[in-house]
Structure 1
Amino acid sequence: MFANVEESHIAKLLDEKDSVSTKRTINRSVSLFRTFLIAKRGSGDFEGLSKQELNENLRLFYVSIRTKSGTNLKVSSLNSIKYGLSKYLKDNCKIDIHGSEFHESKVVFKAAITDMKKKGFGSVDHKQAISTEDLNKLFNSETIVFNVNTPCGLQSKVWFDLMFYLCRRGRENLRKMTKETFGIETDAIGREYVFQAIDEADKNHGTAPLPNGYSPFAHNELCEVEVYGCQNSGYYGEDCSLQCPPNCQEGYCSIVDGTCLGCRVGYRGPNCDDQCSNKTFGLECQQICGNCKNSEPCHHVNGSCSKGCANGSYGARCEIACPDGRYGYNCQEKCSATCGVPYRCDRMTGQCEGGCQIGWKGQTCDTQCSEGKFGLDCNLPCGHCLNNVDCHYIDGTCLNGCDSGYQGRFCKEVCNNNTYGPRCSFTCGNCLYLYGEQCHHVTGQCPRECNRGFQGDRCDQATDSISAESTSNNQLLTILYVCITLLILSGFLNVILVIKQLRNSACKEQKSQENLETHADGTCKSSEQVKPSNIYINECDENCAEYQELENISQTQYNQLQ
């Protein structure tokens, strides 16, 4: 029996004792984790990391941490570090590292603990097995007396048996023992034995063969049970002649039926003969494969992908998604700048986010519009560009001009204003139109009949009758032009004669006026003194000679003239 102590009282005592110790544990754990992060990523700040990033760093931390001398930590030390980190993150960042978001780091931590225990880094150091001779000395010693009839004697007896017969050392493994910790089972050949209800990995035993003189049997006088095992590890069976399955962890298996007590990394099943499947790998097949190419399973041990990663992922195990702006095999491709949202596309296919920009098409928006299309999603048809060349893929303009019969930037307007042909440079013929009609914009062909006197598809050929009539008309026009010219010349000459006559009349009038003024003043002189011819020499030309007769007019005649 065990001493009856209330659990609440023990918990209270432990809490009071560990209050200062807990703070030291937290500070030490946080300091170690920060040092690890600084060495790994250059920054010890882990409070700002996302849960995914924190999970990945904890996974690496659990398998990397060592003592200053480079040896593995003990199980209790690693548990203490995890406890300190857990409490710090929960109190300061409201993050529970025992949650489902930290599945990978929890699996790695459990595997690290198991591996440490198997390698002898458990909470209690391995001790050499006790020989039968030494056991007899202990039991027959007069100084060691157990009176099982008293509570103290019985407690001492139980303690002694636990410490020596079950090969335990220290309080670490015994602190939480209750009567449910132990059980009794019968093996395949009918022998009873006591077992402790804990994981096989928690057994503090070595794997080396027992030296000469040492017994593989442990005898407990209280329960009178015997525990059997093979002298050499890796074997089982009644005579220890059968070898354990090759994939048993550390070579251990049940001495009765040979089932493995644990499997090597990458294997599972009672005999550990099944490789991890269903896209799992690692210890106990707890880890999930990444995105291997063609959805193939990863390597059952290390999770690597033999044929590379599927599009959209990269990394040693293809577990990392392509960053923004990258896609395809090993994220080698770059999203197109002509995506609707530039450089944003599907990590696997490269399909652009938001479609394509104007003038581009295709899943990755890396192809210009063609085949007579332009604009958004290449849905708009080009006009009639010269020689059927594609228009501009964005705005639809025809860079080299239009085909015959069309005009404008987009070459979608037909020739108008009675024109047709290349660049609308030809004039339609003498077509007979209805309102709003004109000749064909490409060929110039008239929509119906020609005007009178013309023929041909474009009505640009004159008939014979109209040609003769045209010749006659031309002759009449020539005569008319000659007559008009003569009339113009005649009129011009008449104007000149009238002007000349008017000038002569003016000269006569001026002469007469001067003579009148001379007689009025009584200053007329003889013909010898005044020569009329000299008076008019500068005013009149030879046509005025007749006025010289005035010098022969007598005074009497002059007076009569007055």
Structure 2
Amino acid sequence: MARRDCCNIFLVLLFARYVYSNKCPQDKWGELCNSKCGNCMKPPCDKTTGHCIGGCSGPWLPPHCTQECKSGSYGVNCSETCGHCKEGSLCDIRTGQCQQECEPGWQGNRCDKECSAQRFGNECIQRCYCYNGVDCSKGSGECPGDCSPGYHGKHCDKECATGYYGQDCSYRCGMCSKNETCNAETGTCYNGCMTGYTEPYCKSKHEATSVSPHNLPHFLSWILIPTMALIQLWDIIASFH
């Protein structure tokens, strides 16, 4: 008899739980309907567990959708990860926008876009010039090898000083016309050389032919032999008249 009474009591409790849980107001759940549903996308919540069946309506942690996103996440159901915010600072749990600047090497409101090729630093506003177009470190800007001709410095972002060119700006420009500087990459002069120097680098002088006692016989032979040949040709022509 006692066992039957126990079974009856258990059934009564189950029935009471069912009745209470299904008669709770739309925003309540639980055996006594004393728990409030969270921020559900599609209310009501499950009357027994309190879970939001259709997910959360915003930056709330499922399944109950009563707690805001934890640090490092944002968006509906906290399903998005914050970008590269500076020094690990938080992002807005609704929009994902970083509350401070981005880490060097990243850009965008959410700091989730890496710098494009040959760009680096804060907001990717600096440019590097690595040899053969190789990309530099997005954060530090350091090149893995040499700089492109015409540039120098730790980040290969400094142009050669006036009058210098080439790899690491280690070569001096030649004698460019009007004392102009040369092309910092190739070393060629833009508008030719000063008088007496040869293009393209304007570093070598013209080889001028000079007449001296040592080369006078050779020099005269250049003039006399053709002249004598012309005189003989003229005499032959005149003999026919």
When normalised by structure 1's length, the TM-score is 0.29
State the Cα deviation string for residues 46-80 of structure 1 (Å, max 9, x = none). Answer: xxxxxxxxxxxxxxxxxxxxxxxxx9xxxxxxxxx
Which of 187, 196, 200 is equivalent to 1:453?
196
Pair 1:291 & 2:39 matched = yes
Q: How does 1:157-172 map to 2 (within 5 A)?
A: none
Q: Are 1:314 and 1:330, in contact at CA under 8 Å, matched by a contact in 2?
A: yes
Q: Which runs of 5+ in 2 are unaligned?
A: 1-8, 216-241
Shift of residue 265, structure 1, vs aligned partner: 1.4
The change in CA–CA distance for 1:450 and 1:348 in structure 2 (over 3 A counts) is closer
Report the Cα distance in structure 2 between the residues aligned to 1:365 and 1:473, rounded to whole angstroms. 81
The change in CA–CA distance for 1:409 and 1:266 in structure 2 (over 3 A counts) is same
**Which residue of the partner structure matches residue 229 of structure 2?**
none
Pair 1:359 & 2:105 matched = yes
Q: How does 1:138-157 map to 2 (within 5 A)?
A: none
Q: How does 1:152-301 map to 2 (within 5 A)?
A: 265-266=23-24, 276=26, 280=27, 289-292=37-40, 295-299=41-45, 301=47
Report the Cα distance in structure 2 between the residues aligned to 1:408 and 1:288, rounded to whole angstroms. 63
Higher relative contact order (CA 8 A, sep 6+): 2
The change in CA–CA distance for 1:305 and 1:396 in structure 2 (over 3 A counts) is same
Report the Cα distance in structure 2 between the residues aligned to 1:357 and 1:331, rounded to whole angstroms. 22
Which of 319, 327, 331 is equivalent to 2:66?
319
Report the Cα distance in structure 2 between the residues aligned to 1:457 and 1:360, rounded to whole angstroms. 43
Shift of residue 442, structure 1, vs aligned partner: 1.8
State the Cα deviation string for residues 160-215 of structure 1 (Å, max 9, x = none). Answer: xxxxxxxxxxxxxxxxxxxxxxxxxxxxxxxxxxxxxxxxxxxxxxxxxxxxxxxx
Report the Cα distance in structure 2 between the residues aligned to 1:356 and 1:408, rounded to whole angstroms. 25
The change in CA–CA distance for 1:307 and 1:440 in structure 2 (over 3 A counts) is same
Report the Cα distance in structure 2 between the residues aligned to 1:312 and 1:451, rounded to whole angstroms. 72
Give the share of equivalent positions with the same residue, in percent.
34
Report the Cα distance in structure 2 between the residues aligned to 1:346 and 1:324, rounded to whole angstroms. 10
Report the Cα distance in structure 1 between the residues aligned to 2:186 and 2:63, rounded to whole angstroms. 70
Q: Which runs of 5+ in 1 are unaligned?
A: 1-70, 72-115, 120-248, 251-262, 268-275, 476-562
Q: What SS does the aligned partner of 2:177 have?
A: coil
State the Cα deviation string for residues 462-503 of structure 1 (Å, max 9, x = none). Answer: 54xx3423x96999xxxxxxxxxxxxxxxxxxxxxxxxxxxx
The change in CA–CA distance for 1:330 and 1:472 in structure 2 (over 3 A counts) is farther
The change in CA–CA distance for 1:473 and 1:361 in structure 2 (over 3 A counts) is farther
Aligned length, in residue pairs: 199
Q: Are 1:281 and 1:300, in contact at CA under 8 Å, matched by a contact in 2?
A: no
**Which residue of the partner structure matches residue 127 of structure 2?**
382
Q: Are 1:402 and 1:411, in contact at CA under 8 Å, matched by a contact in 2?
A: yes
Q: How does 1:10-159 map to 2 (within 5 A)?
A: none
Pair 1:429 & 2:171 matched = no
Which of 205, 209, 213 is equivalent to 1:468?
209
The change in CA–CA distance for 1:310 and 1:341 in structure 2 (over 3 A counts) is farther
Q: Are 1:382 and 1:391, in contact at CA under 8 Å, matched by a contact in 2?
A: no
**Which residue of the partner structure matches residue 164 of structure 2?**
419
Structure number having the greater helix percentage:
1
